[in-house]
Structure 1
Amino acid sequence: MPTVLASLALLVALVAFVFSVVALRRGSSASRSGGADALPEDVVGLRQEVAALQTETRTALRHLAVVRYDAFGDMGGHLSWSVALLDDAGDGVVLSSIHGRSEARTYAKSISGWTCEQQLSPEEDEAITHARP
């Protein structure tokens, strides 16, 4: 159990680190452009700002779904899981942690256009399907 918790904590820390780097990059570009003070006062300008923000967020990992399951018949509690983290184009990653009695294994598979070159487990496929808008 401590190994599973340590693996999960490491995974959560890694995802948090990725999101922090993305936020810092966006924050520095916003400060260079003047931030909220630089917003135009007219409606047309605001619409252009909204369109620009929508364009920027297309590559954000904002579609996510988690599927919990029992990987082995003799295990209970839905301790194994798969999570899909995808952008609007269906590009991103699916992460899976398979929990057994004596160990836990974690896998990452790259997703491009809602599909994967590697074979997906039914649970990974389900996570991608649930993440799709």
Structure 2
Amino acid sequence: MEIVALVVAVVALLVALVAVRRGARRPGDGLDAVPEDVHGLRQEVAALRREGSDALRHLAVVRYDAFGDMGGHLSWSVALLDDGGDGVVLTSIHGRSDARTYAKSISAWRCEQQLSPEELEAVDHARP
């Protein structure tokens, strides 16, 4: 009786191995599909990189005292730029009785308007 059970188990194991081997050989399954999957993933990664290049990913903040009699570094300039150096520099200058805010467009890491030393520092720190 035990021998019959052993023979049945061995036959079942052989049938299972044959089925696994046949299943792995079907086109579109198993190892044959891996190169297609990798190619598709590479295309998706490239598309995501293209989309991400326009994102404002490069950012730097410079805090400072705009006036000698003020403390606490309440004035600031922040550069928000994409991979090509396009974006904006925002500056807020805080005085005793008021605060002024400015925005300057940046294109290819340059600005048509004159940048303050703090704004230039923010752009330089944002550059990868």
Task: Return the alpha-carbon distance in structure 1 between the equivalents of residues 110 and 97 of structure 2.
Answer: 32
Identity within the alignment, %: 85
Residue aligned with 2:46, SS: helix
Residues 22-53 of structure 1 show CA distances to partners (whole Å, capped at 9, x for unaligned) of xxxxxxxxxxxxxxxxxxx7011001100000
Letter in 2 for 1:131: A
Match of 2:54 in 1: 59
- Please say if 1:97 is aligned against 2:96: no
Q: TM-score, normalised by structure 1?
A: 0.69
Please show how residues 36-75 of structure 1 align to structure 2 within 5 Å: 42-75=37-70
Q: TM-score, normalised by structure 2?
A: 0.72
Task: Return the alpha-carbon distance in structure 2 between the equivalents of residues 110 and 120 of structure 1.
Answer: 10
Residue aligned with 1:117, SS: coil
Residue aligned with 2:63, SS: strand
Q: Could you list the structure 1 runs, at least 4 aligned residues long, displaced by more than 3 angstroms after superposition.
A: none
Match of 2:31 in 1: none
- Superposition deviation, residue 84 in structure 1: 0.2
Residue aligned with 2:91, SS: strand
Task: Return the alpha-carbon distance in structure 1 between the equivalents of residues 54 and 120 of structure 2.
Answer: 21
- Superposition deviation, residue 78 in structure 1: 0.2
RMSD, matched Cα: 0.8
Q: Give the gaps of 5 or more residues in structure 1.
A: 1-40
- Please say if 1:85 is aligned against 2:80: yes
Residue aligned with 2:125, SS: helix
- Superposition deviation, residue 131 in structure 1: 0.2
- Superposition deviation, residue 121 in structure 1: 0.2
